[in-house]
Each structure stands twice: as structure tokens, then as C-alpha cells.
Amino acid sequence: MKAIVIIALVLTAMTSLGAAPDGARLGGPATVDAHGPNAFGLPSPGLTREERRAFSVGNSFFRDNWVVAPASAAGRDGLGPLFNANSCSACHQDDGRGRPPESRDDVGMGMVVFVSPHHADGAPHPIYGAQLQDQAVPGVLAEVRISVTPELVHGTYADGSPYELRRWTLAFHDEGYGPLGRVRTSMRLGQQLVGVGLLEAVDDAALRAMEDPGDRDADGISGRAHRRKDADGTPRVGRFGWKASQPTLEAQIIAALHGDMGITSDRRPDEALTSAQRAIVKTPLGEAPEIDQHKIERIAHYCRVLAVPQQRGAGTAVVERGRALFADAMCAACHVPELRTGDASPIALFRRVTIRPYTDLLLHDMGEGLADHRIDGAATGSEWRTPPLWGIGLLETVNGHAHYLHDGRARSLEEAILWHGGEAQASRDAFAGMAAEDRAALVAFLRSL
């Protein structure tokens, strides 16, 4: 209780502060002074008139619902026939984070579950494919209903204070196309979108330079880049998605349109149906492809130029104390405070600038507690991309809920830290060993980002 009071006082004090120092401009030139419900949805300042116009068009494509084909909504039909969401914003409400289902009859707003046969680690399910769709167009059976049940784990900090952790048990009901059988699953929530264009602008070479797969410096941290291929076959470093499985914003968007909404494109021209489902599902489809390259580019541009909220309370004693504790606990070994962008961004404003996302965008082994035991590309079942921390203190303000980590199990930042294991075990233990006032300071620092 004492820690919560300390954090509340700190956050109240932040609102009365004046101009932020340069270090608080987390997104460099793409930083905005915003801390309200729309903090994640603003365009970067300094865009050209043409870039702002493209932002508005992309915003429309991002938020509008796709509908069942055929429809009078030219160019916006073709939803499904199986899907998890009917718009981009359904998974990224207010450009923020998704949530798990709240009851057995609910569908997750921004939750997806990847699936593989238990014996074929990472391979698509022969009947249900790579991703479970819990919604369908009229006249078509949804693949499954998904429910998540919490299981609570109790522990104590070094000072004897109790804590409680939550993890999920998944259950599947009303399997529409036959038994799932014994499977491996990976539940994931849509992530907040602030600053993704800046992350895209970091050169591959800069990310590879931070790799240490053999832990040469013996610090226990051995991150590695997730090497992928772009659409033209060019080797690239993945950086988007919980497993860094996509190298560019366009690749991420095309994959989400296809897997989450059933929208075909030139790069993914076939409906997201397995051969077993094609023999059963007979429904009118939209014109192929159901989304053209222009719309994809506009959605990518919209996401690319979303601004980053500035840090709140930078320079205050408690936030700076928390920053020091964050570094002392070696959290910054993976949540790297500063990166530098390269020359390749289509947005001139984003080239050769310093940003403070608190990530290295590399894969790290996070231990058994967070493992999903399912291979994703070259990522093992216990590896996850370091998520950026900018904006993390505004999630509850923007989305009205707190679901941290890849599957939303953590209800607080403290709980998210305590789930860290593997390469982050020493940092987790350092946090658990701190005095209550120090834990509160570290969390206050995170909530300032």
C-alpha cells in the first residue's frame, strides 16, 4: 500500500511540471506532449502537408470496419470468411494494446492464439492452420471459442511483502472443423503502436551490433537478431511482433490483414483457409486481392508517423532514483535506453535521429515462466523480442485496462517484472530484493515513460 501511495503522489506531481528536458523527448523529433486518452493517436509534429494528408487517409483505413462481400462499400469488403477482428483498430484500440476475453462468451479485443500440433513444434495445424479464428461471416462456422482462466501464484519479496502473479489456462470450445487434438498454443495481444516508424528506421546493422549470442562478455545477456526475409527475398532483421517475426511495417500489416481479418493482398493472395476448410466453407469472396497496395501503404504510413508521448516527470528525484535502479538491476541491458536511426526511412524527419525506446529489438530467452514452447521462425519457445517501454505508463489512461506482457497475464508493472526469467532472472531477483521504496521508485520511472 505504501508503494502505491508513493507512485500516486509522484504521478500527480508530474502533471504540474513545465517543459521537459531533451532526454524526456523519447521519440526525438516525433515526440508530443500528450498524456490523455488520445496520447497514442497523434501524428508526429513536423510532417509535411502531404504526409499529414496521407496520415488522415491511413487513419480512415485503419479504423473503418471491413464488411462481408459482396457489399456496396467498394474496396472495403472481403472480411473473413474466418477472422479475429474486423478492423485494425479492433486489435489496437486507440492505437494501444488489446485485451483477453473477459468471459467464455466474449471474443478477445486484440487477442490471437497461434496453434501447432504438439508433435510438430511451430508447424501449422493441418485443419485449423497457424492461427485460431474465433469469428466468422454469416453462414460459416467459427473455428473455435476460446476462454482464458486465471491461475494465481503467490510469493513474497525479500522484505517479506506478499505478491500475487496471474497466468492463464486456455480452453477451446465448439471446435467447428473437427478436434484440435493435443496442441501447442501461443496467446498474444496486439501491441501499442507509438513510435513504430522510428523502430523501423533503425538500421539492421545497428541491431546486429548489439547481438551477443554466445554471451562473450559473460553478463548473462545473449540477445540475437531474428533474421527474416523481406518480400523480395532480401535478408532483414525482424523487429515487429512479440517474436520479432516481421522486418517492416508493411510486412506486419499484410500478415495481420491476412491472419486476423481474412483480407487477401498481392503478397498473400489466398484466403486464410486450410484445404480441409476449403472443402466445407462456401461463401462469396471479395475481389482478389481484397486490399490493394495503395491502401496498405496508407495504413503503414499512418502507423509509421504516430508520435511518441514525452516522458513525464523526468528530472524529479523519485523518477531519477528509479532510472538509476533500473540501470543498476541491468534492466537496461535489454531495454536499451537509446538507439540511433539510419538513412532509410521514407520520412525525412526520422533519419539520423536519437530515440529513447528502451529496447534492443532482439530476441532473448525469458525462461520457463514465460515460455510458450512453440517455435516461431527462428525464435525458440522461450525467446521473446524486448518490447519498447515508451508509452507503457499511459496504457491504462489510453485503454482503460492493464494487461502487460505478451499474453496480458500481468496486471501491474511489478507483476510483469516478477515474471521475468532466463536472461532477465538476475534483474528480476534484484527487483524482488529491493526495499519497498526502491521498488516504488523503479515503477515510478517506468510509469513516467
223-269: pLDDT as tens digits? 999 999 887 888 999 999 999 999 999 999 999 999 999 999 999 99
What pLDDT is attached to residue 231? 78
90 pLDDT higher than 80:
yes
Residues 139, 283 contacting (CB under 8 angstroms): yes
Which pTM does this prediction carry?
Answer: 0.93
1 pLDDT higher than 90:
no
What pLDDT is attached to residue 408? 96
445 pLDDT higher than 50:
yes
Question: Residue 74: which pLDDT band, with cuts at 50, 70 and 90?
Answer: low
What pLDDT is attached to residue 233? 84
9 pLDDT higher than 60:
no
What pLDDT is attached to residue 284? 74
Question: Residue 19: which pLDDT band, with cuts at 50, 70 and 90?
Answer: low
Question: Residue 109: which pLDDT band, with cuts at 50, 70 and 90?
Answer: confident
**Tens digit of pLDDT for each residue in 57-68?**
999 999 999 999
Q: State the Cα–Cα distance between residues 424 and 258, nearest whole angstrom.
A: 34
386 pLDDT higher than 90:
yes
The pLDDT of 166-174, averaged and rounded, is 95
